[in-house]
């Protein structure tokens, strides 16, 4: 699963403590550590005794954990001299979030009842910041009344639930209890570390290309990957917004906290976006919508058109009729009510600022992000973007080439200054 839409540059200096308990899914916590370290988050780790039956401390050290606690008490006086006698209080003092991933039924029971009989449960009892729990266990253990009661207790106290997912578990059973996808755990941890300056806002984002069928196997589209829109959606969600994504065909996946409507054509995208717009505070249209759709010959409905039926010889031309698609951003602009904010993009090969200014006015936008397409380091299917940003008051800024996650983060910063 891709995580480049989560590579935000603002977590340097933030710290999280990762607790790992004894589940077959313990090995997945290494991937979580790798992702967090890649985002420049400082990570301390505690492995319970059971976790160490599945996975060793050296792997965590090798992947960049700043500390790895494996026991409450030192094994020997020499070790005791080297260790920190107050390591059970360190996460509470230095980390901004505690995530236990995977979390077994046993640790949930201990946390619910305030039992502190090993290093992790003691650290958790002394931790006052956000507690994130990603359970992993057999479906019967998850469904057990004791586990469900403990889980409700923890959620009532404000713990953040990550999963569990439904599906096959290691023992061969199927049901709820699977460890959530590690990218979702990662996204939730970043959310716990992010500012909440978009809390209370409902944000609608259109992203990706649209695909317009000509017959059952051929279509018109463009190379948009959806990365820019996925970064804007994730940045808004991390910063506390309620986010609804309307996505054309794209490889990007979103955590369960984000509402996602997947569509194929421009007309489907319009229907989904127009339905969500009346209750949204902000819409950000990044989708590379196909302005035209092919008109399929009547014989092309639901089947592959045959060359012989089209009577096209090799090297001969074939005329395809196109008809105009609706303009989604313009439609949202026409229906914009007092207090709503609308952000558009402009993909241009020439006269970037002039074209962007026209679109800002014609589509009744509050902000437009103009990017050059057809050049390296910007536009479609690129990891970075070189943009100019213009607002309704006539202000404009030119930004250098930046990774798309950073462009997204800055767009939300700027919007709040309008």
Whole-angstrom CA distances from 74 to 70, 81, 125, 322 are: 9, 9, 20, 74
**Candidate residues 329, 352, 367, 411; the one interacting with ligand CTP per rule CB under 6 A:** 329
Instruction: Give the single-character DSSP code of 12.
Output: T
Nearest CA among 196, 232, 193, 203 for reference residue 36? 193
**Candidate residues 121, 122, 265, 325; the one interacting with ligand CTP per rule CB under 6 A:** 325
167 close to 180: Cβ distance less than 8 angstroms: no
Of 112 and 272, which CB lies nearer to ligand CTP in the complex structure?
A: 272
| Residue of 10, 166, 171, 284 marked catalytic | 171
Q: Is 344 in the site for ligand CTP (CB under 6 A)?
A: yes
φ and ψ at residue 58, rounded to 5 degrees: -60, -35
Shortest approach of ligand CTP to residue 280 CB, angstroms? 15
384 close to 403: Cβ distance less than 8 angstroms: yes
**Candidate residues 253, 268, 271, 327; the one interacting with ligand CTP per rule CB under 6 A:** 327
Name residues contacting ligand CTP, limited to 353-412 (CB under 6 A): 359
The sign one gets for the Cα dihedral 84, 86, 89, 94 is negative
Name residues contacting ligand CTP, limited to 252-311 (CB under 6 A): 266, 285-287, 289, 291
φ and ψ at residue 123, rounded to 5 degrees: -60, -40
Long-range contacts: 396-402, Cβ < 8 Å, 24+?
Answer: 396/353, 401/377
Shortest approach of ligand CTP to residue 292 CB, angstroms? 9
Tokens describing residue 126: 């002394």
Of 289 and 305, which CB lies nearer to ligand CTP in the complex structure?
A: 289
Of 66 and 221, which CB lies nearer to ligand CTP in the complex structure?
A: 221
Distance separating alpha carbons of residues 55 and 51, to the nearest angstrom: 6
Distance separating alpha carbons of residues 365 and 229, to the nearest angstrom: 17
Q: Count the site residues for ligand CTP by CB under 6 A.
A: 16
Distance separating alpha carbons of residues 180 and 99, to the nearest angstrom: 13
Shortest approach of ligand CTP to residue 289 CB, angstroms? 4
| Peptide bond connecting 114 to the previous residue in cis, omega within 30 degrees of 0 | no
Q: Is 204 in the site for ligand CTP (CB under 6 A)?
A: no
Of 41 and 228, which CB lies nearer to ligand CTP in the complex structure?
A: 228
Of 17 and 244, which CB lies nearer to ligand CTP in the complex structure?
A: 244
In this structure, the strands spanning 42-47 and 15-20 are parallel
User: Interface mask (CB under 6 A) for ligand CTP, residues 220-249, using x and -?
Assistant: ------------------------------
Of 191 and 244, which CB lies nearer to ligand CTP in the complex structure?
A: 244
171 is catalytic: yes
Shortest approach of ligand CTP to residue 234 CB, angstroms? 18
Nearest CA among 183, 106, 117 for reference residue 142? 106
Shortest approach of ligand CTP to residue 220 CB, angstroms? 13
Shortest approach of ligand CTP to residue 263 CB, angstroms? 12
Binding site for ligand CTP (CB under 6 A): 206, 266, 285-287, 289, 291, 325, 327-329, 344-347, 359
| Residues designated catalytic | 171
């Amino acid at each position: 699963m891709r995580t480049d839409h989560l590579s935000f540059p603002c977590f340097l200096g933030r710290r999280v403590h990762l607790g790992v308990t004894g589940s077959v899914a313990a090995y997945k916590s290494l991937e979580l550590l790798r992702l967090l370290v890649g985002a420049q988050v400082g990570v301390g780790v505690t492995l319970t005794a059971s976790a160490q039956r599945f996975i060793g401390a050296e792997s965590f050290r090798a992947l960049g954990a700043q500390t790895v606690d494996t026991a409450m008490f030192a094994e020997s006086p020499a070790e005791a001299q080297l260790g920190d006698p107050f390591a059970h209080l360190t996460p509470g003092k230095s980390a901004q979030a505690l995530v236990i991933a995977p979390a077994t039924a046993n640790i949930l029971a201990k946390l619910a009842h305030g039992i502190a009989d090993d290093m992790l449960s003691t650290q958790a009892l002394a931790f006052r910041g956000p507690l994130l729990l990603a359970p992993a266990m057999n479906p019967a253990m998850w469904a057990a009344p004791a586990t469900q009661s403990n889980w409700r207790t923890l959620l009532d106290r404000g713990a953040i639930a990550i999963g569990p997912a439904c599906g096959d578990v290691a023992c061969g059973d199927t049901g709820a209890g699977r460890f959530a996808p590690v990218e979702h755990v990662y996204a939730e941890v970043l959310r716990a570390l992010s500012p909440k300056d978009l809390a209370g806002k409902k944000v609608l984002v259109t992203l990706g290309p649209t695909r317009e069928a000509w017959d059952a196997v051929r279509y018109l589209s463009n190379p948009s990957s959806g990365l820019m829109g996925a970064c804007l959606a994730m940045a808004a969600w991390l910063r506390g917004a309620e986010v609804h994504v309307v996505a054309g065909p794209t490889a990007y996946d979103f955590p369960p906290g984000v509402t996602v409507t997947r569509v194929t054509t421009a007309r489907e995208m319009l229907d989904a976006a127009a339905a969500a717009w009346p209750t949204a505070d902000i819409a950000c249209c990044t989708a590379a919508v196909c302005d035209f759709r092919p008109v399929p010959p009547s014989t092309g409905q639901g089947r592959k058109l045959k060359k012989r039926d089209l009577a096209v010889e090799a090297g001969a031309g074939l005329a395809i009729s196109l008809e105009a698609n609706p303009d989604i951003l313009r439609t949202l602009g026409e229906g914009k009510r007092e207090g709503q904010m609308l952000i558009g993009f402009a993909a241009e090969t020439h006269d970037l600022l002039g074209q962007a200014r026209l679109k800002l006015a014609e589509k009744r936008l509050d902000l437009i992000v103009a990017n050059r397409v057809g050049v390296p380091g910007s536009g479609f299917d690129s990891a970075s973007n070189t943009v100019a940003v213009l607002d309704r008051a006539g202000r404009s800024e030119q930004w250098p080439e930046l990774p798309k996650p950073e462009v997204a983060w800055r767009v939300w910063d700027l919007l709040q200054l309008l």
